[in-house]
Amino acid sequence: MPVSASASRRVSSAVLRFGRRAVTGTVAVLVLVAGVWASWGAAQHVMLPKGRERGTVEVTRCGAGSCTGPYTPVSAGSRPRGRVVVEDTVAVAEGRTYPVVVKPGSDDVVRSGTAGVLYAWVPLGGALLLASVLVAGGLRLTRAAWVLAGAGLALLTAAFVAV
């Protein structure tokens, strides 16, 4: 039984539509996973501080992408250090003291507290914004795209205000 030309076009159109949605959905999910992956590197230390060394760092010098200063312990079992390294960002300024968590096995620290948590999740905020464009354009799901964009914008704004 031969297939008509119009039926063939409908089938091929449906297959192409499904393929576009599958590829766009996969890319959107990969962007979100990459955002979580990029954020988790710092967020795990800030969000799960139990058993980690906590304290404060007084930033005395910044340059070449990092800031340094003496570390004063707050948690039991933590030892003072003459010099620890914190990533130089808009979130760190010379002469200020910040609560930090020490990354295990190193002298690297990350900011703790609300500002540290929000700042650690900034890559996810960017990923949410990028995924919203993919969801709106490729999947034609405008409400879901607005939700993703709103969540990303809220996260980035909260991080900016907190830092």
Whether residue 7 is predicted with pLDDT greater than 90 in this model: the reply is no
Mean pLDDT over 64-78 rounds to 92
| Region 26-35 average pLDDT | 98
Segment 133-141 mean pLDDT: 94
Distance of alpha carbon 45 from alpha carbon 13, whole angstroms: 49
**Higher local confidence (pLDDT), 6 or 111:** 111
Give the pLDDT score at 3.
65
Residue 102 above 80 pLDDT? yes
Contact 68, 108 (CB under 8 A): no
Return the percentage of the chain with pLDDT > 70, whole number.
97
pLDDT for res 161: 93
CA-to-CA separations, 20 to 10, 25, 103, 120, in angstroms, rounded: 15, 8, 42, 33
Instruction: Output the CA torsion sign for 111, 112, 114, 119.
Output: positive
pLDDT at 63 over 90: no
- pTM of the full predicted structure? 0.85
pLDDT, mean of residues 122-134: 97
Residue 106 reports pLDDT greater than 60: yes
pLDDT recorded at residue 98: 92
What's the whole-number mean pLDDT along residues 135-158?
96
pLDDT attached to residue 1: 57
Nearest to 143 by CA among 131, 132, 127: 132
Beta strands in the chain (DSSP E): 54-58, 61-63, 66-73, 81-87, 97-102, 108-111
